[in-house]
Amino acid sequence: MFGKRVGNTRIVPLTIKIIVVFVALLLVSSFSTNYINLTLNRGEQVKLMNDILVKELKEMYTFASNQYDIYLFSENLEDSIRILEENAARNLRRKKSLAMAVNVDGSVFFQAGGEPLDRFPDREVFERISQTRSEAGVMEGTLFPRIDNRPYFGVYKFNERWNTYLIRLEERDEFYSSTRVIFLQVGAIILAITIAFTALGIYLMRHILRFLPRITRAIRRMQETQHMEIIDISAAPNDEVTYLGASFNALSSSINNLMTIFRTFVTQDVVQRAYREREIRLEGTQKELTILFSDIKGFTFMTETLGNDIISLLNIHYDRAIHRIHAHNGIVGSIIGDALLSVFGTLTSDTCKSCEALMAAYDIQDIAQALRLAMTERKKKIESERGSLTPLEERVYKAVLLEVGVGIDGGEVFYGNIGSTERMTNTVIGDNVNSASRLEGLTRVYRVPVICSEFVKDEVLAHSDRFRFIELDTVQVKGKTEGKKVFYPLDTSTMREEEIELFAQFERALGLYYEGKWPEAFHEFAQCGVLPASVFLQRLEGRTAPKGWNGVWTMDTK
């Protein structure tokens, strides 16, 4: 009813705004009129009450004067005071009404109504009326004292025979209570009428503006999906709202084409930022990201064999691979022929970026394997129909059997836009980017599909126990001065227990290798039989550890 929140802003329906403004003005107008009327009536009530109090005070004054003559005759003060109080009490109509006589020293001579008082409670008011009597000879008037911290109003008259001030008072809040009740009753009536007409107004406004919410919902959906669409206004009336929707549809069609092209050529995070900020700036920041580098093996042989058809094969592979990378919150930084660079950690900050990169890596391997299986099935079908493939067909078959190596590393890198305002590109720069490429190259050496760094291993193990990381070696790649541990991540959800045991034996052999016990390590490597062991069998055959062996193997090639 009150709209949805978009970012930090709540989008309130126009119908609600119109109704709220209308109702607010109506209520302010009605209650203001009611209050002004009440105020004017209160003024008349006060004037009338003042006349009544004056009248009662005169009667009280006359009775007090007559009672003074009786007192002179009887000389019974107590009876006189009692009679004066009884007479004064007859005119008190409210719980807090007061009638009293106050001596010139401020002490109470007699009192009717209220809690008994010894002295007049508002000393400042009493001193003021005493002063006006003594200085200006004013014998009567109005007064506004506070008694028990409550405001009173009334009239007074000085009785010379008793030498007292006769005072008649009414408590202000009690006096106004009836007007407040009337105000609340009238207010309730106003609210009831307003609610009834508000409901009618909402119905009429929603009917008149019924296509406006449809347009706003469609626009909000476009903001969320970042995809422009056409709003259905086929049954809309011929008014400005419909014209607005028609104009938007014309604009949407043009923008949608441009957005589709833009989204195809730039990364998802850049699209989101451009859509949100309405601009793309030349800027970058240091971020901790995970880099995935994949490369197709034997690409030279493929291009020589397939020629221009290599483009079709690459498009089939990349279409599926990029889809899986996006599904795991990765972005494709660049595609260079047979190589693909992906970055993880730019779209979300609350997920394990290395976990997502690793799952994307195995999805890429599954895609390549599925393509190989499809080509194998195609080969079997041809062989069953014709007997065998021609030499050219055999060569093509080998060319399309895609094998992909994947290297994954991560850490602090520069990520952002570089270039100029006329031509810019989104890029990631850092030692970890180059390292991911080097790790991919090692997949050909150690004959495993995926190799990752210790950074990736530590982050994944902190979030998941799905993968078991087998340390392959400590290598110093070409162009580096320090050795770096490399790991083969085993997906325990798909790998058989026997294979995991063989790699456990491989790890024991690697421990002997690091300790410089090469003959013992050679024997263990030969026993485990996993593909990475072949590297060490060639490296260790007939050799012993060199003097000063530190466990780091220096690579001569990239």
Q: Which two tokens stand for residue 235?
A: 């049954």
Residue 4 dihedral angles phi and psi, to the nearest 5°:
-105, 160
Q: What distance in Å separates the CA atoms of residue 229 and residue 250, rounded to the nearest whole number?
A: 10
Determine the pLDDT at residue 271: 58
Q: Return mean pLDDT, the chain.
A: 82
Identify the CATH assignment for 280-464 out of 3.40.50.1820, 3.30.70.980, 3.30.450.40, 3.30.70.1230.
3.30.70.1230
CATH 3.40.50.1980 fits 14-178, yes or no: no
Domains 14-178 and 280-464 share a fold: no
Determine the pLDDT at residue 137: 87
Cα Rg of the chain (Å, integer): 48
Determine the pLDDT at residue 510: 92
**Which of 549, 421, 405 shows the shortest CA–CA distance to 474?**
549
State the CB neighbour count (10 A cutoff) for residue 75: 9
User: Do the strands 108-112 and 140-143 form a parallel or antiparallel pair, or are they unpaired?
Assistant: unpaired
Determine the pLDDT at residue 354: 94
Structural domain spans, the chain:
14-178, 280-464, 483-558
What does the pLDDT average to over 181-205?
78
Band the pLDDT of 558: cuts 50, 70, 90.
Answer: low
Band the pLDDT of 272: cuts 50, 70, 90.
Answer: low
Residue 34 has pLDDT above 70, yes or no: no
Residue 410 dihedral angles phi and psi, to the nearest 5°:
-160, 170
